[in-house]
Amino acid sequence: MKPSSKSKTFAGLSQIANLALPAPTPQSDYKYKKSNSFDNKMIFDNYLLDIALPDLENKKAGFKLCDLYPIGASKHLKPLIYDIKLEIPINTLKFVGKEIGSDSTTIHCWLTDYNKTPLLKFIQILDVWRRVCNKSNTDVNRKLNGLFDETKFFSSGCGSIPVKLPQKMSKDLAYLIGFLLADGYIKSQTKLLLRGKYPESSIVFYDNSKKFLQGLNKIMISEFGANCNLHYAEDKKGSWYALRSTSKPIHRFFTEVLKIPSGYKQGHIVVPKIIEDSSTEIQKSFISGFCDGEGCVGISTKNPYFEVAQASYTGKPPQILEWISDKLNAFGINISKPQIGSNCWRLRTASQKVINNYYSIISSRHNDKIPKFEEVKRFSYARHRKEREGDDWA
């Protein structure tokens, strides 16, 4: 069993911008602990470094960005400064400020909570504390974990509304991830910065049903405390609704903790490692979210059908369809391997039994798809044939 990432947080220090800081925790090293078998939640290890360090790289490149702020960090900053003052009693704040590139007045404002403490600056001061006070990696871990355990809300300054970041992987969050990969988009901040544009923090969910997106917004409120903007859009190709979050902390959580890719994703969608490592019930919720976005269900002129499709330009089926196919079969839903279609790969079945098994085991949360699954449950080949023959006769 791999060691917990908490014990590795400050292991293997690397020099970044002349400051001893750890490299971010590799995705494959993330570990989760089941809280209990009833809520099917997986507890995240400390991810503060993961969401903070990209800002350091951006600032090294000369990009000006709003900082991330853990609300209430001053409580954890005061003991660090106190310990440093014991070692450097004269001009303590001036010394610390020189080490982290900030002035003493600014640090004083952080200590009094007049201004919020930037997460990256807190980590830099933590490193100063480690060096000046001769502290161990274990000591640093304890301090950083204390901040993580007690921080409930984050903001990005610039007048932004604080949001909470999950410390557990829940079924609702897994469903949200699945639908995002199917019918969502994360704006790439890096591409915008390289083009000299303002780095938006947009995460968008698309659907034709306003009611469904209102349901997703309820998940965003419960998981992140974020009431997203829901609006109508249209172009020459059609119309749709979009649910949009513009919070930098949420954007950073999806890209750096959940490892969801930003930017263009068609043909490159894979199952996040965080989902592969999660419990069975969480995996089912992820599949439900993805299939609610990319799947369709109904009754044709002859049979019921259920299909999930993905574009692919490699000649091979997308990894996510292969994984879903394997999982569905493991859950007792006997669906075939991905088959090539018209400019896409798809999972498809015309078996009423398979569709009903999917609906019973995986389920759906989409208000437009649930009635269709129910219709398939009531489907009768004999009745359907008579209805068609009656229509033909008429």
Same domain? For 211 and 331 the reply is: yes
Query: Considering the domain boundaries, does residue 248 fall inside one?
Result: yes
51 falls within a domain? yes
Domain end among 132, 155, 178: 155
Q: How confident is the model at residue 28 (pLDDT cuts 50, 70, 90)?
A: very low
**202 in Cβ contact with 187 (< 8 Å):** yes
Q: Are residues 211 and 146 part of one domain?
A: no
Report how far residue 130's alpha carbon sits from residue 267's, in angstroms, rounded to the nearest whole number: 46
pLDDT score of 268: 72
Residue 27 belongs to some domain of the structure: yes
Of all residues in the chain, the percent with pLDDT exceeding 90 is: 66
Co-location of 139 and 201 in the same domain: no
Most confident listed range (12-16, 42-46, 166-170): 166-170
Q: Is the pLDDT of residue 22 over 50?
A: no
Q: What's the CATH number where 278 sits?
A: 3.10.28.10
pLDDT at position 41 is 66
DSSP run (H or E) holding 385: helix 381-393
Lowest mean pLDDT among 50-59, 102-111, 217-226: 50-59
Predicted confidence at residue 390, as pLDDT, reads 58
Q: How far is CA 98 from CA 53, 92, 128, 132, 255, in A?
A: 20, 10, 11, 14, 32
Residue 363 lies in a domain: yes
Lowest mean pLDDT among 2-6, 61-65, 106-110, 373-377: 2-6
Residue 13 inside a domain? The answer is yes
What pLDDT was estimated at residue 13?
Answer: 33
Average pLDDT, the chain: 85
Whether residue 181 is found in the same domain as residue 151: no
Q: Which long-range contacts (CB under 8 A, 24 or more apart) does 139-143 make?
A: 140/9, 140/10, 141/6, 141/7, 141/9, 141/10, 143/76, 143/79, 143/80
Per-residue pLDDT, averaged over 49-65, amounts to 78
**Number of domains present in the structure of the chain:** 2
- Segment among 22-36, 73-87, 93-107, 368-382 with least mean pLDDT: 22-36
**Higher-pLDDT residue of 59, 28:** 59
Per-residue pLDDT, 195:
60
**The last residue of a domain, from among 103, 126, 155:** 155
- pLDDT (mean) for 122-131: 96
165, part of any domain? no
Residue 239 sits in the same domain as residue 374: yes
Residue 218, domain extent:
170-381
Per the domain annotation, does 209 fall within a domain? Answer: yes
Reported as a single tens digit per residue, the pLDDT across 236-283 is 888 999 999 999 999 999 999 999 988 776 667 899 999 999 999 999
* Amino acid at position 203, single letter: I
Instruction: Give the end of a domain, one of 95, 120, 155.
Output: 155
Please give the share of the chain, as a percent, with pLDDT higher than 70: 80
Q: What is the mean pLDDT of residues 358-367?
A: 97
Task: Please check whether residues 151 and 63 belong to one and the same domain.
Answer: yes
| One domain, residues 306 and 272 | yes
| Cβ within 8 Å of residue 178, ≥6 positions away | 285, 286, 287, 288, 289, 290, 291, 292, 293
Q: What is the pLDDT of residue 15?
A: 32
Residue 391 lies in a domain: no
Residues 195 and 119 in one domain: no
Do 203 and 337 belong to one domain?
A: yes
pLDDT confidence bin for 126, thresholds 50/70/90: very high
Q: Examine the domain organization and report whether 150 and 178 are in the same domain.
A: no
Output the six-digit token pair for 376: 């398939």
Q: Are residues 42 and 179 in the same domain?
A: no
Same-domain pairing of 243 and 128 = no
